Amino acid sequence: MPARAPETAVADALRFLVAGAVNTALTAAIYFVGLPFMSPAFAYSIAWVVGICFVMIVYPERVYVGGSRSSRTRLLFGALAVAVFFVGLVTLRLLVAAIGDPRIAFLMTLAITTVLNFLGGRALSGKGPW
């Protein structure tokens, strides 16, 4: 039987995109359902709390295969998500103020936070950012 190929950044990126799509669908639904009842920032905050829990449970185990899965790593994934949350929150507020549409601002913020989360997650898993 041939040896299994080492996990690559491309393989991690594909798993990240799948897990991220599930997480994004869940958190986006929470955000958009919340918009009629609360501010964009509060809806975004609630969505991120759910997303942070998802990341801590799923990413070390299923996304960054072969990387660290320790409790410490899971907590660091949560801390990364919190740090990226604050970057995203500031970005969202700036974009809502600049363009006036919280839906478009959300999509732009999502693109920025996705890149930050992927690179940070690879680094935390012990696989390096690239």
pLDDT in tens, 50-106: 988 898 999 988 998 888 888 999 899 999 988 998 999 999 999 999 999 999 999
CA-to-CA distance for 67 and 129, rounded, in angstroms? Answer: 12
CA-to-CA distance for 74 and 61, rounded, in angstroms? Answer: 9
pTM of the model: 0.71
CA-to-CA distance for 81 and 63, rounded, in angstroms? Answer: 15
Q: Which of 2-6, 100-104, 125-129 has the highest mean pLDDT?
A: 100-104
- 106-124 pLDDT, tens per residue? 999 989 998 998 989 988 8
Range list of H helices, the chain: 9-34, 40-58, 71-99, 102-124
Instruction: With CA atoms as reference, report the closest residue to 48 among 18, 13, 91.
Output: 91
